[in-house]
Copies of this chain bind each other. A is one copy, B any other.
Amino acid sequence: MKSDATADANNPALSRRRARTRGEILAAARAVFAEKGYHEAGIAEIMQRADLGVGTYYLYFRDKHEAFVTLISEGLAGLRNRVLAQLDGVAEPTLALAAHTIFTAAYEERDLFRLALMDRNESLQTWNARSLLIDGFTQALLQAQTDARLPASASVALLARFITGVITGAINWWFEHDTPSPDEMTAQVLSFLGGGALPASLVGTWPPTSGA
């Protein structure tokens, strides 16, 4: 019984084995959660797909929730890093750049995003894809206001929600369809955000002009 909190650090081989098993569990969890949703998924089914015993799950995760949270937070951390990497060093980052990175990632890992957008699980709010996007856009827009690239009068909070809505709307589309490609999707979204997609007459005004 030399099991120790620092066992991992002491024994690189063990550590590597642990990491692999953990990864297998996460992969299985991802597949099952994506397929059936958080509530309908069962630990037994996950571990069966991972070709491991049920009990093993609890050697790596505290409870059912944890693998789910881990899955999403690790996935979203990856997304976050990719976006930051893209934007890093760019003098004046555009939505175009951000959207393209997000779409590329989302298209590649659709099942993960299905999860991340799916269960509006109370305590999870923080680790929700939506929240991450909203936060990201909020910060970006605030920065843009600081840089005077966006009028100070703009309602940043709402704008961030609107943009997030468009992005998630697009990703949702991919849950049912395989086209268009992330590139094409980016172009479509940009056109939409730029205001070029909807004729003014179709959009209308509010309050309605007298003529209406």
Does A3 lie within 8 Å of B183, measured CB to CB?
A: no
Q: Does A94 contact B (CB under 8 A)?
A: yes
Range class of the A interface residue count: 35 or more
Q: Judging by beta carbons under 8 Å apart, are B162 and A204 in contact?
A: no
Q: Is A157 an interface residue (CB 8 A)?
A: yes
B residues near A95, Cβ cutoff 8 Å: 198, 202-204
Contact between chains at A3 and B204 (CB < 8 Å): no
Counting every copy of the chain, the complex holds 4
A92, closest chain B residue (CB):
B201
A172 and B161 contact, CB distance less than 8 A: yes
A155 part of interface (Cβ distance < 8 Å): yes
Q: Is A205 on the interface with B (CB-CB < 8 A)? A: yes
A120 nearest CB neighbor, chain B only: B118
Query: Please, how many angstroms separate the alpha-carbon atoms of A66 and B132 in the complex?
Result: 34
Across the interface, do A170 and B159 meet the contact criterion of CB distance under 8 Å? no
Task: Decide: B203 and A158 in contact? CB cutoff 8 A.
Answer: no
Which residue of A48, A187, A199 has the most chain B CB atoms within 10 A of its CB atom?
A199
Interface residue ranges, A against B (CB under 8 Å) = 1-3, 36-37, 39-40, 48, 51-53, 92, 94-97, 99-100, 117-122, 130, 144, 149-151, 154-155, 157-159, 161-170, 172-173, 183, 185-190, 192-208, 212
Extra pairs beyond A119-B119, A159-B198, A194-B203 (8, CB < 8 Å): A95-B198, A150-B202, A162-B170, A164-B165, A168-B169, A186-B206, A190-B204, A190-B205
| A–B complex contacts, Cβ < 8 Å, 28 sampled | A2-B52, A3-B51, A40-B122, A94-B204, A95-B204, A96-B203, A117-B120, A118-B120, A149-B199, A150-B199, A150-B202, A151-B199, A161-B169, A161-B170, A162-B169, A164-B165, A165-B169, A166-B169, A168-B169, A183-B207, A186-B206, A190-B203, A190-B204, A190-B205, A193-B203, A194-B195, A195-B195, A195-B198
